[in-house]
A and B are shown apart, each in its own frame.
Chain A
Amino acid sequence: MFGKILIANRGEIACRIIKTARRLGVATVAVYSDADRDARHVEMADEAVHIGPAPAAQSYLRIENILEACRKTGAEAVHPGYGFLSERAAFAEALAADNIAFIGPNVGAIAAMGDKIESKRFARAAGVSTVPGNLDIIKDGADAARIAAEIGFPVMIKASAGGGGKGMRIARSASEVEEGFARAKSEAKSSFGDDRIFIEKFIENPRHVEIQIIGDKHGHVIHLGERECSIQRRNQKVIEEAPSPLLDAATRELMGAQAVALAKAVSYDSAGTVEFVAGQDRSFYFLEMNTRLQVEHPVTELITGLDLVELMIRVAAGEPLALEQEDVRLSGWAVESRVYAEDPTRGFLPSIGRLTTYRPPAEGKFGELTIRNDTGVVEGGEIAIHYDPMIAKLVTHAPTRSEAIHGHSAALDAFAIDGIRHNIPFLSSLMSHPRWREGRLSTGFIAEEYPEGFSNPAPTGAIALRLAAIAGAIDYQLNQRKRQISGQMPVAKAVTFERRRHVVVGAEDFAFEIDETPKGLDLAFEDGRLVSIIPMWKPGEPVWRGVVDGERIAAQVRPILNGVLLAHGGFFAEARIYTQREAELVRLMPEKRTADSGKHLLCPMPGLIREVLVSEGQAVKAGEALAIVEAMKMENILRAERDATIGRVYAAAGQSLAVDAVIMDFAA
């Protein structure tokens, strides 16, 4: 076993690896860029080495700097995490040359599987079912269009070196192929330094199912079951689960066997993932193999009870894998959601800034429910523009899928983040989506179910009533305290605080009478419904907790003028609380006009203008691309929301813009 390992990564995965290493009694070395000086992984590690400026290309991707850090600290092995150098054969080779162990597969396996085109050849040879496609490198847009036509539309354009959705595009026509090819190529270049692109058949309504495998240096390979990661947005996984609601035992066995066969064919000797695209009929085709630890590995850990990082470290140290296939038991259901620093209401554009509040739900085992939160940040930390915008991975495990989902929803309700925009409202909305709950998934799920994007939905029915009741309970607590202010006139004790209140949420007005009971509060609503609440919340806390009609729940609560903003179960409510008379008079107040933002194209995020695609006076159609903004290494195409004529263009390529900076305006 190693005495000291270096983690060539940052964020949650670095923290995750340090945790296991510490448990195993292995000393840890963190590396950090300028932007990560105060990061959590630096704090957690036994030692930390500075490896360069903020941009990854000058720090986390610099092989020489990592090697230098190893030499300086005497680290015997390097865990690369995911992303960055994790699948670079050159990195593994350089480490080997320096006699440092690589906690990952052998160089040959990385080289064979790391290249998406090469890996397909191997897969075919190993008897793994593969998708029809072209495995040759494509020269240019015209070439791409020709090949796509041969395979038949729709096709998928992919970066050979890509992963995690970056540099991937679907094209349904020759012109889309040409546009997509150019974009994919330039994105691949900037993200991976490798602009090779290939094309394959795109399977309609597909699901993403992957098999986790683990092998040792002694030729032993087993699989740890599957994960389904069909809930994706623009090919970026959002929610993962294990097992897959699609698979039956026979398919699982078949898929597992093929994955193991492929791994054996390349003498695979670490943790790896064989990704398949699956049809609704449980047909499946090899997609690619990831020769690293996956982001979503925790769901496998929770259903198998294994620690994948531990297994990786052990096999890298040469220990034989102490597990046979039949030792692997899948128990219960695990669900993971990725909490991103992005604004779901503004097309999921990345958001950066300081985490003024970061209060994840408590981790641990609560009855049969397990909550785990893998994170790389702390309150007061900074989400920088240089790296992946993932803040945390929230994972729940329970005996059944529906219990795991229910627990997940509740955990999301208790997850408080301020200072940046984040996707928790969207994740909450997904968790309560009937189609997700039924397990009727496909990788098109988000595009199909949220065709207009995501906007904070207003609550209705039982949820609206529940939120109104919470607002009422909050107001009651505050009013009780107001009664205790100093300096009251003696006769003022006669002043009655009104029990009858109104909670106004949007157009809905909930009237109720509130009463204290021995246990908590009873709210008798005008329509006859009764809600009992036991508040377990103190004003000032961002998460409201309490028991509502016997159920322990959490809700996000933020003060607004004369009310509270509540979020719960994916719903948002600006609740204003009034007395009877206030409620009567507020109805007389005119609605305020909101400013018209439709006349400008605003920069939706802080970023760099890559290209302005239109010129002044040009007529554009709805959906036409207007400009490309690069942020967080993603190229975002800003499109016209409606038919318009371009007025003035204020920004030029190469310019760095702040959020809401005016890029151009439209002629009236």
Chain B
Amino acid sequence: MRHVIEELERRRDEALAGGGARRVGAQHAKGKLTARERVELLLDKGSFEEFDMYVEHRCADFGMEKQKIPGDGVVTGWGTINGRAIFVFSKDFTVFGGSLSEAHAAKIIKIQDMALRTRAPIIGLFDAGGARIQEGVAALGGYAEIFRRNVEASGVIPQISVIMGPCAGGDVYSPAMTDFIVMVRDTSYMFVTGPEVVKTVTNESVTAEELGGARIHTTKSSIADIAFDNDVEALLQLRRLIDFLPANNTGGAPHWPSFDDVDRVEPSLDTLVPDNANKPYDIKELIEKTVDERDFFEIQGAFAGNIVTGFGRIDGRTVGFVANQPMVLAGVLDSDASRKAARFVRFCDCFDIPIVTFVDVPGFLPGVAQEYGGLIKHGAKLLFAYSQCTTPLITVITRKAFGGAYDVMASKHIGADVNYAWPSAQIAVMGAKGAVEIIFRQDMADKDKIAALTKSYEDRFLSPFVAAERGYIDEVIKPRETRLRIARALAMLRGKTAEKPWRKHDNIPL
């Protein structure tokens, strides 16, 4: 028996060495960790169980039969994050540049299947050169198998991709179909075609960082949801993110004991909304004072700042927050903000994470660029996303809720369960000046009359009470009690069941 165990140890050591000391050194010199080091930090100590470490490719072209390294460029397996099961694959740049072969793909597919079968989240760590050219169509086939499984698993288990090095060509589409993409600043980039091809085809000169770095993808393209300074920071924050997420779409959001009092009142929120309706304030203060322990994990924080999305907890349970941000573009809904929020709302609904929506929205952003850019369709995505929610929805209108944007932002009419308004809420078709100018166009010459009409419009409509009188608002609450009221509503809604008619799937305006 001893010699077979020795043989096992030998083969393990060989596999664990990856691409060898020289390549590992080069990886470190670039400020990057190796595939196994990353998995080690991501998972609880000692919890990783590696699968398929002896797998080698079966390619016999271009001399590949002479180059075989166990593992074949990807480390796969499962482990735990704070005791909860997680599947993981981690591309090994030190082995064939992490390139994807048929065997490499088969390893990923195996754990994708297991993750789905066991209803546990899957995390992919990317740092690879794309398809292994020597394998040709076998690699492409492998990619497609992975893609299809990403789609199968979508909405059933959380899928997260972390880009920690190059990610180009066929490699980008798997992350693109997962729920969240995390990037590492300065050491990661992702694009379909790289700078050389871009130069040849369009004659544009760009660096990899300019074309697909973390900054571009978190601020401009919105491909990535969040970026961190280095591998360690990213992996530890990924553990924090996983603590917020359910394991699957039937298990419900995780919970833990909260250190924070559910009935904590925040008197300072009574002065959050400035007297002057044109003065901005930071909606994140409201979020931070509402969630447990001020712990808020923002998603897409660097993109479309006019809407804030992210996770917090109330009474120890995960809640998704969507909030208009008056500090940026007055919190207006534009195409970017609508898309950003729609995707977040749909993620929460997939996994039954309750959504709290804070509304202070002056409307949709007017303009040629917006209309040409498809504002109608992008705005419709958010409307669609909220309307199809079966997860608990709680809405708090803090100030403006004007026009169509009022409807969109989780109004009673599209299915929100509990709708609160602060006394400062103004629920109307539009602001007083605009409304009076339209309704009383013929009186525009009479300045005094217009002023009086504006005043009476303000008094009547720029308040929560017209809506409350109709039952569109369930209750007008004191700002200081927001956390308490939301906590109570969430507790009441825990048993919410909502059935939707059978359909193959919906047809969200893409």
Contacts and interface: CB of A to CB of B under 8 A. Distances in A.
Interface string A333-364: 00000000000000000000011101000000
B502 interface: no
A539 B259 contact: yes
Interface in B380-412: none
Contacts, number: 126
A188 to B, nearest CB: 33
A581 B45 contact: yes
Interface in A102-144: none
B371 interface: no
Contact of A495 (B80, B256, B275): B80
B41 A588 contact: no
A23 interface: no
B67 interface: no
A482 B82 contact: yes
Contacts of A498: 45
Interface in A572-602: 578-579, 581-582, 585-586, 588-590, 592
B68 interface: no
A115 B40 CA distance: 75
A378 interface: yes
Given A356-B268, A559-B295, A562-B236, A488 B41 contact: no
B47 interface: yes
B173 interface: no
B232 interface: yes
A517 interface: no
A378 B267 contact: yes
B295 A540 contact: yes
B246 to A, nearest CB: 8
B37 to A, nearest CB: 6
A483 B83 CA distance: 8
B165 to A, nearest CB: 14
B83 A540 contact: no
Nearest to A484: B256
B83 A493 contact: yes
B270 interface: yes
Given A38-B271, A485-B83, A487-B251, A540 B294 contact: yes
Nearest to A496: B45
B84 A581 contact: no
B294 A559 contact: yes
Contacts of A488: 80, 82-84
Nearest to A495: B44
Contacts of B84: 485, 487-489, 492
B311 to A, nearest CB: 14
A380 B272 contact: yes
A379 interface: yes
A589 B46 contact: no
B37 A585 contact: yes
B239 to A, nearest CB: 9
Nearest to A37: B275
Contacts of A589: 31, 229-233
Interface in B268-313: 268-272, 275, 281-282, 285, 292-295
A360 to B, nearest CB: 14
Contact of A482 (B232, B251, B256, B259): B256
B80 A540 contact: no
A594 B228 CA distance: 15
A579 B259 contact: no
Interface string A133-168: 000000000000000000000000000000000000
B237 A561 contact: yes
Contacts of B28: 588
B375 interface: no
Contacts of B185: 592
A435 interface: no
A519 interface: no
Interface in A185-226: none
A329 interface: no
Contacts of A529: none
Interface residues of A, number: 41
B229 A592 contact: yes
Contact of B285 (A356, A381, A562): A356
A437 interface: no
Contact of A489 (B40, B85, B236, B285): B85
A581 B41 contact: yes
B33 A585 contact: yes
A378 B268 contact: yes
A659 to B, nearest CB: 14
Contact of A380 (B40, B228, B271): B271
B377 interface: no
B236 A381 contact: no
A498 B46 CA distance: 11
Interface in A471-493: 481-489, 492-493
B113 interface: no
A539 B293 contact: yes
A538 interface: yes
Given A378-B267, A485-B254, A493-B83, A585 B31 contact: no
A561 B226 CA distance: 13
Interface in B37-92: 37, 40-41, 44-47, 80, 82-85
A381 B274 CA distance: 11
Interface in A365-404: 378-382
A538 B259 contact: yes
Contacts of B228: 561
A496 to B, nearest CB: 7
B84 to A, nearest CB: 5
B302 to A, nearest CB: 14
Contacts of B247: 487
Nearest to B31: A590
B135 interface: no
Nearest to A577: B236
A358 B28 CA distance: 45
Contacts of B263: none
B3 to A, nearest CB: 30
B259 A562 contact: no
B257 interface: yes
A582 B43 CA distance: 11
Contacts of B251: 487
Interface in A447-490: 481-489
Contacts of B232: 562, 578, 582, 585-586, 589
A384 to B, nearest CB: 12
Contacts of A381: 271
Contacts of B259: 481, 538-540
B279 to A, nearest CB: 10
Interface in A537-590: 538-540, 559, 561-562, 578-579, 581-582, 585-586, 588-590
Contacts of A581: 40-41, 45
A154 B412 CA distance: 73
Nearest to A581: B40
B243 interface: yes
Given A483-B83, A489-B85, A581-B45, A380 B257 contact: no
Given A37-B275, A481-B256, A486-B255, A588 B33 contact: yes
Given A378-B268, A579-B45, A492 B294 contact: no
A386 to B, nearest CB: 15
A485 B246 CA distance: 11
A462 B192 CA distance: 54
Given A379-B268, A481-B256, A538-B260, A562 B83 contact: no
Given A486-B254, A539-B260, 14 more contacts: A354-B285, A378-B267, A380-B272, A484-B257, A486-B255, A487-B246, A489-B80, A538-B260, A540-B292, A540-B293, A588-B28, A589-B229, A590-B31, A592-B229
9 contacts: A356-B268, A486-B254, A487-B254, A495-B45, A495-B47, A539-B295, A540-B260, A582-B236, A592-B230
Interface of B: 28, 31, 33, 37, 40-41, 44-47, 80, 82-85, 185-186, 228-233, 236-237, 243, 246-247, 251, 254-257, 259-260, 267-272, 275, 281-282, 285, 292-295
